Amino acid sequence: MVAALFFIPGAFMLFHRGPMVTFQQSFRYMPSGAMALSEHGAHIFGLLAICVSVSLILFYFYLRREIERDDPLRKPRWR
């Protein structure tokens, strides 16, 4: 689910054509703002987001494999 939160906006940014305008949510003490990204910049950030999502998915399956291999009832080596 966390990987999807990176993948979906990353795919949108990667396939978007033209400049992109993003808005920042305003907080209590900070004013809200807007930022414009060029098409090239949006593609770079989209590619980075997709790379993060792929690395999260790979790390998830790596951890599942390591947990499966772990044997809690291992005998000591000296016996």
Number of domains making up the chain: 1
71 — pLDDT class (breaks 50, 70, 90): low
- The band of 57, judged by pLDDT with boundaries at 50, 70 and 90, is very high
Predicted pLDDT of residue 74: 63
Please check whether residue 6 lies inside any domain of the structure.
yes
pTM for the model = 0.71
- Burial (0-12, 13-18, 19+ Cβ within 10 Å), 53: buried
Q: What is the dihedral of CA 40, 53, 58, 1, to 10 degrees?
A: -160
Is 43 inside a domain boundary?
yes
Q: Which is more confident, 73 or 29?
A: 29
Residue 10 lies in a domain: yes
Backbone φ and ψ of 9, nearest 5° = -65, -30
Task: Name the amino acid, one letter, at 53.
Answer: S
Print the domain residue range for 42: 2-24+31-69
Is residue 76 included in any domain, yes or no? no
